[in-house]
Amino acid sequence: MIIQYGQALSNYLYDVFVAKFDFWLAFGLIAQLFFTARFLVQWIASERAGNSVVPMAFWFCSMGGGLMTLVYGVVKREPVIILGQALATIIYVRNIMLIWKNRGSASKTLDR
């Protein structure tokens, strides 16, 4: 019985990752890696700062990976991915806008 489950799992994984491998699967995997890289970026920045920080690179990784995943979802016609990434991308863009706005305000304050 365990051997049957192992073979079924092996067949499933082969079907998903090998038999159906194409450009869009590679694109989607790269998108996920790019999106996941944001956690590494945030972790390294926090360790260097000695406390929890969210660097600008985190938001760029979020936006880049999110947009790539959105494209993947549109091409594959996956409504869950499309809705999730479309809404999340708006948040990433808004956070970048707020950071740029606050950096501009901070530099104007320093110039006075």
Q: How many residues does the chain have?
A: 112
| pLDDT tens by residue, 35-65 | 999 999 999 999 999 999 999 999 999 999 9
Cα(112)–Cα(103) distance, rounded to whole angstroms? 15
| pLDDT tens by residue, 12-42 | 999 988 998 999 999 999 999 999 999 999 9
The amino acid occupying position 91 is I
- What's the farthest any 2 CA atoms get from each other in the chain? 76
The two tokens of residue 9 are 């799992």
Cα(47)–Cα(77) distance, rounded to whole angstroms? 39
Going by C-beta distance under 8 Å and a sequence separation of 6 or more, which residues neighbour residue 19?
none
